[in-house]
Structure 1
């Protein structure tokens, strides 16, 4: 499978939300990483045909997805950041409703819903009203509705926003499992969402795609830029003003700062192994997870 994005741009009034993005995507998980407002959601909406590009094309096996119309929508699953539901519908009733909208025959839908609810550990909640579910449970129902038609392309936009750490781990494990034979596109500003499951990371900033590579290759590029520095309380302000400080750890024997810098920031600084939080901080001034 090949999903290709070629010179895609989207403009709202005087804001260029997506700016000349190019990427070729095949089976596996792709993590679209960027701060809020970087253009991730706008791009996801275009990939899901919820909105159209002002210029450029998105093709599936060489065919324009807009021209494919329903043929394309039949092979995608989409979970927006905030998906709509009827709060008085039970989980099961809501999923049958979505299945009917997707043209899935009732007998097939019944088996598919049962299987997917078991996969996301919600079988015992099938009769519970949607409005009574926790945020994490609603997100799990959201992924079920996106998978009902067994999509070849799964698009999920900021799926773990507001979830507790346990639910986030459960959710990303589920995405990793579903990526065996499909393209999974995950947009997020939380680095832990993609740290272990992404085949490639696509970094977006100000509407532009500025990097696309494996996590390992991206980390290798900054491996000499991350330092650990022992500092006094009085020195913290100086380091924060001059450098990008990713972490301040107060320990029994003093204060340890994690700093990104092209030059050695202090005489006692030592290079330390890098991680994706360092990568995020390298590209975005807002701070890790901003």
Structure 2
């Protein structure tokens, strides 16, 4: 697979998040978050309300924040451009009266593809998520899992160098989850993929890097293997090493 080239520039190297803080009124959702993401799959873990969605929204640019979020490529720093990013939020709306292929085509066109490119992008993206047979079906006729896959197709249609997916495997059956993981690991050589998930199976199968956030702060940022090694030191009967690591890192409480 060839490296994906940004229009007018070399392949993306990494995302730098530096001292990022964000608030909702008086509530601090992110507190001086600093980490970087290189091409590969970064699993973003944490309890509900930990700040994962706020962090993704900040990277995309739809949440105001303090601090810096930049891409570093060719030795140069630059602001993340909207067309650099494919984003699947945890909750999203789709135009119920549109067909699936129209929905994805429109998403690709909004991300800078020409009408002709957008049409082909729609065909390719629907094939990648297994919705080719639903290309002419109305969105309102789709099941929950099919809608989720359509949202993923919209996020990946323009082949962005940064892909942010918030709980992408929710509603997918085991075969669909496998196919999504296979796709993400396939593009990860040249794409910064950040996946927010509660499923440690996702982490085990496809993650290169693991970032755990709790209370708006990063409490772990290392490789999957390092998380497994940490878990092996805290594992109890009935737990996987990843489950043990997550438990010990997020609550630190002794087992009753």
Indicate the TM-score class for this superposition, using the shorter chain for normalisation.
Answer: 0.7 to 0.9
Name the structure 2 match of 1:51. Answer: 63
Name the structure 2 match of 1:172. Answer: 181
Q: Secondary structure at the match of 1:202?
A: strand
Between the aligned partners of 1:281 and 1:173, the Cα distance in structure 2 is 27
Name the structure 2 match of 1:7. Answer: 19
The question of whether the paired residues in 1 share the 8 Å contact of 2:83 and 2:111 is answered with yes
Q: CA deviation at 1:179?
A: 1.5
Provide the aligned length of Structure 1 versus Structure 2: 238
Q: Secondary structure at the match of 1:111?
A: helix
Q: CA deviation at 1:75?
A: 1.3
Q: Which moved more, 1:74-83 or 1:201-210?
A: 74-83
Q: Deviations along 1:83-107, whole A, 9 cap, x unmatched?
A: 2210111101112222232231122
Name the structure 2 match of 1:103. Answer: 112
Between the aligned partners of 1:227 and 1:210, the Cα distance in structure 2 is 21
Q: Secondary structure at the match of 2:247?
A: helix
Q: How does 1:190-205 map to 2 (within 5 A)?
A: 190-205=199-214
The question of whether the paired residues in 2 share the 8 Å contact of 1:28 and 1:184 is answered with yes
| Pairwise CA RMSD | 2.0
Residue 213, structure 1, aligned to residue 222, structure 2: yes
Q: CA deviation at 1:156?
A: 0.7
Between the aligned partners of 1:127 and 1:29, the Cα distance in structure 2 is 32
Residue 187, structure 1, aligned to residue 199, structure 2: no
Name the structure 1 match of 2:33. Answer: 21
Residue 277, structure 1, aligned to residue 243, structure 2: yes
The question of whether the paired residues in 1 share the 8 Å contact of 2:234 and 2:248 is answered with no
Name the structure 1 match of 2:121. Answer: 112
Between the aligned partners of 1:32 and 1:8, the Cα distance in structure 2 is 16
Between the aligned partners of 2:34 and 2:161, the Cα distance in structure 1 is 21
Unaligned 5+ segments in structure 1 are 229-246, 248-257, 259-273
Q: Deviations along 1:236-260, whole A, 9 cap, x unmatched?
A: xxxxxxxxxxx4xxxxxxxxxx5xx
Q: Deviations along 1:112-156, whole A, 9 cap, x unmatched?
A: 211222222211110111111122222221121112222010111
Q: Secondary structure at the match of 1:6?
A: strand
Q: Secondary structure at the match of 1:50?
A: coil
TM-score, normalisation: structure 2? 0.86
Q: 1:13 to 1:64 in 2, by over 3 A?
A: farther
TM-score, normalisation: structure 1? 0.76
Q: Secondary structure at the match of 2:23?
A: strand
Q: Secondary structure at the match of 1:180?
A: coil
Q: Deviations along 1:5-39, whole A, 9 cap, x unmatched?
A: 00111112221101111111111000001111010
Q: CA deviation at 1:203?
A: 0.6
Residue 63, structure 1, aligned to residue 63, structure 2: no
Q: Secondary structure at the match of 2:188?
A: helix
Between the aligned partners of 2:172 and 2:178, the Cα distance in structure 1 is 10
The question of whether the paired residues in 2 share the 8 Å contact of 1:29 and 1:176 is answered with yes
Q: CA deviation at 1:64?
A: 4.9
The question of whether the paired residues in 2 share the 8 Å contact of 1:57 and 1:64 is answered with no
Q: Secondary structure at the match of 2:153?
A: helix
Q: How does 1:225-236 map to 2 (within 5 A)?
A: 225-228=234-237
Between the aligned partners of 1:111 and 1:76, the Cα distance in structure 2 is 19
